[in-house]
Structure 1
């Protein structure tokens, strides 16, 4: 394993890149809830950066930062070009996606399918490192079952053991990635949907913890199934960081408690739900004037009252049939007036 000690600062917690979830409106609201987390873009293909409307694709507001850009590609030259083009935007780091199990992605040798070609991953990471002085990181699985996905390759199609993972990392570590974010599940690339790939392959945290224990100089962040502050705290005794995924939009108020992972938490309180809504309303008004979708603007708010009194009423108020461009601010003001005070402002 290439011994490379990165100077990158790994936050205790980050929010995973998620297609149709971690768009810039989500990130703006997430930043209202938490100062601590590293946020990610949705996965962006290198081809879309090279050939698309780069300002529309890569624009983000300064208030969202720090934000990492995640790129999907199967071509080192495209990776280099995309990272170069992204240099004009103030992303804190660039991440290579080697974990997405989607058929559409894996069928183009991107995402988790890339793990079947470790030499290509090395070449892509090397091209990205050459294109920028920013940290370059990688997100991948503990293994894959890609039987039938690729043909005529000398690299492994199936990675199931710890030794297979070491073999993969031994090659890509020569590119000196600054962080390894490891989803502690294998990806099954045929026969399972992306949703099933997040649930059916069993979690194996111990494989990731063993890797950090045996190669303590590697900067390792773990991903997969973390839902509580207590779960995150426990994992942080074994690895450098924890990435959460679905919990960030299924129970977004969890983000307001991330400060509890830090020593200064004794003197701090979480932002209240009411304060978060009040802070977000001016953004909604501004973005609606720019033509942003009202439903995309409201989507980050849906789980704000998850599991507490008034949740059902809140969801009814924010239902798609109620939410309109001309009504959303009034609806949110109704929430601020009608929701239980001890839940809204505590």
Structure 2
């Protein structure tokens, strides 16, 4: 079985894939590649690096996603991230928000593949780990059949061996960032054709993948599948990843076992001044589809934000959901 790290990954998602979420997800899957939220070069160069880039060693394999368009700044930010120990540095060429556009990075860079190539070259000169790119299939009036291959060719010539493709256009005018995640139609066949045309590149497909069955179907055509909102909203779906895609048959922890393992982390973070809600907001979907899931979510949502709330809120919420039977983690894989 192919054991490449990026066969299954969880997408970088602003406000979602922070260090608390990644620690939590790593309790469910040992092998899926996890990404940080996008971090801008300005924040890395001039902000609180420890706050922005620090992560728990258990989060490996982990990639940092950078946003920027100045090669020298990206090289320095990549070097700094490399010193923190990330396994991959990814360049964002896909985010469509107004703030990102005003900084001349994100999806608007789809119009400037030569600049992206220069950025990749600069970043590669600064780090020894892989430098990858995450892009769209085009923006606005671009023709995806032309824009996507142009970007892929440019970054490949710059030494990038892995391209993650969100298989939608981004409309920089007329659609909000939220709408850009749903409204433009998906074009998976275009990404499949890119892989056929560039078999030497690792092509990872992103966008609209809702189940592990769908991820596996895409792997007949591309090298990897990146899960986004589906994995965040139903994180336990990742319990099927290790055996199915990496050949690791370790016992699958139940949802209660996941939370039992999460509690010591929560206690440590509370002792360092982290608010409980900053951590518990990531676990609300853990019991999705299970009896008691609504009561679990409600108890945490109502109590975690309160002053002085501690790990007992999680214990109380767990008591509202029945324990799974032995092996239940495995039996859910058909629908996860």
**Normalised by the size of structure 2, how large is the TM-score?**
0.92
Residues 141, 183 of structure 1: 8 Å contact kept: yes
Contact 1:99 1:187 in 2 (8 A): yes
1:171 alignment counterpart: 154
- The one-character-per-residue Cα deviations of 1:155-185 (angstroms, maximum 9, x if unpaired) are xxx4223123222322232111121000000
Preserved contact between residue 103 and residue 190 of structure 1 (Cα < 8 Å): no
Contact kept in structure 1, 2:295 and 2:320, CA below 8 Å: no
Contact 1:43–1:72 under 8 Å retained in 2:
yes
Deviation at 1:255, TM superposition (A): 1.2
1:345 and 1:213 mapped to 2: Cα distance? 40
> Aligned residue for 1:162?
145
State yes or no: 1:310 paired with 2:316. no
- Give ranges in structure 1 of 5+ residues lacking alignment: 1-7, 146-157
Q: SS of 1:287's equivalent?
A: helix
Matched, 1:220 2:215: no
Deviation, 1:310, is: 1.0
Structure 2 stretches lacking a partner, 5+ long: 329-336
- Tell me the distance in 1 between the aligned counterparts of 2:307 and 2:202: 45
* Displacement after TM superposition at 1:220 (Å): 0.4
Matched residue SS, 2:153: helix
Separation of aligned partners in 2, 1:246 and 1:159: 26
Q: Is the 8 A contact 2:276 2:311 kept in 1?
A: no
How many residue pairs align between the two structures? 326
Structure 1 residues 283, 263: CA separation in 2 closer, same or farther (over 3 Å shift)? closer
1:29-40 aligned at under 5 Å gives the runs 29-40=24-35
Matching of residues 244-283 of structure 1 within 5 Å: 244-262=227-245, 264=247, 267-283=249-265
Inter-CA distance 53–256: structure 2 relative to 1 (3 Å threshold): same
8 Å Cα contact 1:27/1:39 also seen in 2 = yes
Q: Name the CA distance, whole Å, in 2 between partners of 1:263 and 1:17.
A: 21
TM-aligned CA distance change 1:96 to 1:322, over 3 Å: closer
Aligned counterpart, 2:128: 133
* Secondary structure in structure 1 of the residue aligned to 2:239: helix
Q: Secondary structure at the match of 2:167?
A: strand
Tell me, in whole angstroms, the C-alpha distance in 1 between the residues paired with 2:121 and 2:189.
29
Could you say which residue in structure 2 is the equivalent of 1:190?
Answer: 173
Tell me, yes or no, if structure 1 residue 56 matches structure 2 residue 51: yes
Q: How far is 1:325 from its partner?
A: 5.7
Among 236, 244, 251, the alignment partner of 2:219 is 236
1:300 aligns to what SS in structure 2? coil
**Offset of residue 343 of structure 1:** 6.8
Q: Tell me, yes or no, if the aligned pair for 1:58 and 1:86 is still in contact at 8 Å.
A: yes
Distance 1:203 1:343 in 2: 39
Q: How does 1:318-333 map to 2 (within 5 A)?
A: 318-321=300-303, 323-324=305-306, 326-333=308-315
Residues 172 and 12 of structure 1: CA distance in aligned 2, closer, same or farther (over 3 Å): closer
Q: Deviations over 1:57-99 (max 9, x none)?
A: 1111101111101000011111111112223201001000000
TM-score by length of 1: 0.90
Q: Could you tell which deviates more after superposition, 317-326 or 136-145?
A: 317-326
Equivalent pair of 1:274/1:336 in contact (CA under 8 Å): yes
Cα separation, partners in 2 of 1:136 and 1:196, compared to 1, 3 Å: same
CA contact (8 A) 1:80 1:130 kept: yes
Distance in 1 separating the partners of 2:7 and 2:244: 7
